[in-house]
Amino acid sequence: MSEQIQAKPDADSLNNAPALNPKPSGVDEVQDPSFDVMRYLQILYIHRWLFASVVLFGLLVAIAFAIKQPRFYKTEFEVFYNESIKEFVVEANVPVIKTDFDKNYWLSVMQSEEMARLTLKNSGLPYNTAIVKRLFKVEMDNKRKDDRVPSYKVTITSKDADIIPIMIKAYIQSLNDLLHRNQVNNSQKLISYLTDQLADNNKKLSVIDRKILGDENGNPGEIRDFNKIASDLSSFRNNLLNAQVELASVQASRAKAELELKNMDGTIVNETAFSEPLKMQLMNLEVDLARALTKNKEDHPAVKAIRENIVQISNMVRDSLKQNLEIKSLMRNPLKSQLMSKLIDLQINEVALQTQVESLQKVISEFEKMMMPDTTREGSQQILQNRELVNMTINLLNSRLIEAQSAAQGSLSRFVIIDEPEVPKTPANKSIFFFILVGLVGGVALALGVIYAYDMLDNRLMLVSDLERFYAMPILGVLLHHLNADHVYTTDDPSEEEQYKRRNEIGEVVVNLRQAMKCSKHKLYSVCSPVRREGKSLISLRLARELAARKQKVCLVDMDFFASKLTHKLDRDKLPGMSNLFEGECSLADIIQPTSSEYLSFVGVGTHRDVSSFSYEDPAFVDFINTLKPMFDIVLFDTPAVLFIPDTVNFIDQVDGIIVVARLALTSRKSLDKLLKIFKHHQRKITGVIVNDLKINPVNQYSDYYYYRYNYGYRKGNDEGVKGLKGLARLFRKKSAVKES
């Protein structure tokens, strides 16, 4: 405050002072960040009820959301890819065994529309694909340290806990169905490729066998027709290959059917053990049939007899299989019956094919022994070595072909669940306390943002620092709390207790104003404000009373003809005033009304309310002002709100100084800018501004105006202190009298 008002400036320097224009925007001094933080905290405290309302709103929204949100259940399970069976892929048009599992590819497959469609189909639930897709969330299993481990974490979320096991089972089944479809497509390409390779190698083997049979060093024995032997041997090998491939396919299909049947209502299928005699009889019959076909045709009686015996043995095998098959679930199920029939047929075919393979291998072995040449000769050894290499290639291709056929037809349930998930018993929703916490945090964040945005849009002066920041006007003083009660409008001398209370706030204004009066010799001051309800009338009265208490002859003039608040509050409505003086009804001495204070006089507006003909440039008004000036030490004019009565600027020409009143949280910068614009030719007369309605709070108690919350306390009956002060005063008077004598 002392920085704003100099102690004793001379009159010339004050008259030549620069105009008090508002500080241009964009040229503010760089503020300390802590200043902005403290200012925001003070603004936050001022709007504390708005802050509390927004926080409460956020809390209620969070609680309402927590109450109305549907209950949902969540289960997590891990899906593991079993790599015990290799997968075939095609690279550069050549089928190869895949070495690495493509985790990213299957991650995209698990979240695809096709996966959701198959899951919906396998579950049989009345949903749609979009709903099923939303139920599942798939991500990489980060718990596995090795990135090559094919494991995924799947989360299923549903409002109905009962469907979770059904959806998990359908999901795994759909995943294996997609895997099976991909494997079948790739396996078919591999089978076609291997078949072509086998055909080429069989041709090479046939050529070598013909060369062995035609060699003079061979073993002619009972062999007479070399072409017939070579043709039969090639036919047996082709039959053996086809039987082996078909056997692998039947074995894979049988294993798949058993697994499906086992998963239906706890059904268990016991493996059938055939008697050794039946198995030996089938094998011998197949060998006899192969030998007979080498000598006779299909319609020969011996061939027909052997085939009839094979049929009889097959029927016996079927009867034995039915007797040894045990089903624990006796519920009637058409699908189960179909699987049972399919399983019986597959097992019969498996036994027949196993017998056929063994018999063909035995026959081919016998033929190869018959045609083997003498191995002691060098040329024969080379031929046998070549034959062995070709034969090894054929066996390798056969094994790969059988494996490919098994992969294409078998059960490929390689996606399995690591740990069987449990059906959730309790909802997975967050607790109400979580939503309360979220509501509080969100409400606080929203309230902080709302108040910050509101403060940015708000044009009012909220703090004293706002006035100092945007304007160069000196501050005469700061008053606490805007008073509006009737009992404060009085001209009586203040009591000792009230004098103690006034020492800080209005006393500072008085001190600064008296310093300005001493420097400038000014007496006439206009107390004005941009708009109404800013407290200028009461401030004018309090300022006049405090100056009178300091034995200054003060005249308080109510100039607000449009809203004569002082005249009304002081009960001077029926006494003559300025309007009566201007009408010639009374003299100046009649309108200067004494008060209960010896040094304070009051001039009201008078009894005439029609002021349409009044003008501030009226010679009578000018004479009135010039007459008052020598009669008093200071004259205070309670001026109308400048923005409401712009003609007030003509009155400013007659006064010596202007005291502007600005009320925090009411006076806007826009209105204050307009006032300064109206007074642009009189800004040198602006003595300073009085800030009204400062509210001390825990935030700003350590600001520049903290001392307003402290004052000297008054204790009634403190006679000792009073006597001490009076005795000290008498002592000084005695010393002065001695010096004079």
Q: Average pLDDT for residues 529-536, to the nearest whole number?
A: 90
Four-CA torsion 481, 482, 486, 491, nearest 10 degrees: 80
User: How far lies 217's CA from each of 101, 228, 319, 364, 376, in Å?
Assistant: 54, 19, 52, 21, 10
- Highest mean pLDDT: which of 423-432, 439-448, 692-701? 439-448
**Residue 669 Cα to chain centre, angstroms:** 39
- Nearest by Cα to 688 from 208, 3, 4, 2: 4
Task: Please indicate whether residue 255 or residue 444 has the higher confidence score (pLDDT).
Answer: 444
| Local confidence band at 496 (pLDDT 50, 70, 90 cut-offs) | low
Q: Where are the domains of the chain?
A: 34-69+429-458, 471-715
CA dist 264 and 215 (Å) reads 62
The secondary structure of 535-584 as a DSSP string is: SHHHHHHHHHHHHHHTT--EEEEE--SSS-HHHHHTT-TTS--HHHHHTT
| pLDDT given at position 655 | 92
Give CA–CA dist 93/460, Å, rounded: 80
Which residues, 6 or more positions from 121, have their beta carbon under 8 angstroms from its beta carbon? 174
| pLDDT reading at 368 higher than 80 | no
Neighbouring residues of 280: CB distance < 8 A, sequence distance ≥ 6: none
- Say which range, 449-458, 514-523, 696-705, has the weakest mean pLDDT: 696-705
Report the pLDDT averaged over residues 466-476. 89
User: How far does the chain reach from its first CA to its final CA, in angstroms?
Assistant: 44
pLDDT, position 281: 65
How does residue 702 score in pLDDT terms, banded at 50, 70 and 90?
A: low
Directed axis angle between helix 163-214 and helix 334-371, to 10°? 20
341 pLDDT above the threshold of 70: yes
Give CA angle at 740 (737, 741), nearest 5°.
85
Rounded distance between C-alpha atoms, residue 606 and residue 561, angstroms: 9
Whether pLDDT at 147 is above 60 = no
Contact indicator for 658, 679 with CB cutoff of 8 Å: yes
φ, ψ dihedrals at 416, nearest 5°: -130, 160
Neighbours of 739 (CB within 10 A): 7
Q: In terms of Cα–Cα distance, which of 420, 326, 330, 351 is closest to 77? A: 420
**pLDDT tops 60 at residue 738:** no
Mean pLDDT of 261-266: 59
Cα separation, 245 vs 93, whole angstroms: 23
pLDDT tens-digit map of 238-247: 777 777 777 7
CB atoms within 10 A of CB 125: 16
pTM for the full predicted model: 0.56
Would you say residue 27 has pLDDT above 70?
no
Which pLDDT score is estimated for 326? Answer: 46
Q: So what's the pLDDT on residue 253?
A: 76
- Per the model's pLDDT, the better-predicted residue between 234 and 530 turns out to be 530
pLDDT tens digit sequence for 162-212: 888 889 889 988 888 888 777 777 667 777 777 777 777 777 777 777 676
**Distances from the Cα of 333 to the Cα of 337, 344, 345, angstroms:** 6, 17, 19
Position 99 confidence tier, pLDDT thresholds 50, 70, 90 = low
Taking Cα atoms as reference points, which of 251, 206, 505 lies closest to residue 403? Answer: 251
- pLDDT > 90 in the chain, percent: 16
* pLDDT higher than 80, residue 255: no
CATH of the domain spanning 471-715: 3.40.50.300
Contact between 65 and 435 under an 8 Å Cβ cutoff? The reply is yes
Between 206 and 505, where is the model more confident? 206
Mean pLDDT of the chain: 75
Residue 538, token pair as written in the block: 């009461």
pLDDT digits (tens, 9 = 90+) for 708-725: 545 555 455 444 444 444
The closest alpha carbon to 548, from 602, 599, 491, belongs to 599
pLDDT: which is higher, 197 or 477: 477
Whether 1 contacts 508, CB under 8 Å: yes
Residue 610 per-residue DSSP state: -
* Segment 595-613, tens digit of pLDDT: 888 899 999 988 887 766 6
Q: Are 573 and 599 in contact (CB under 8 A)?
A: no
Going by pLDDT thresholds of 50, 70 and 90, the confidence category of residue 310 is confident
Output 638 or 145, whichever has higher pLDDT: 638
CA–centroid distance for 437 within its chain: 15
| Residue 352 burial (CB count, 10 A) | 20
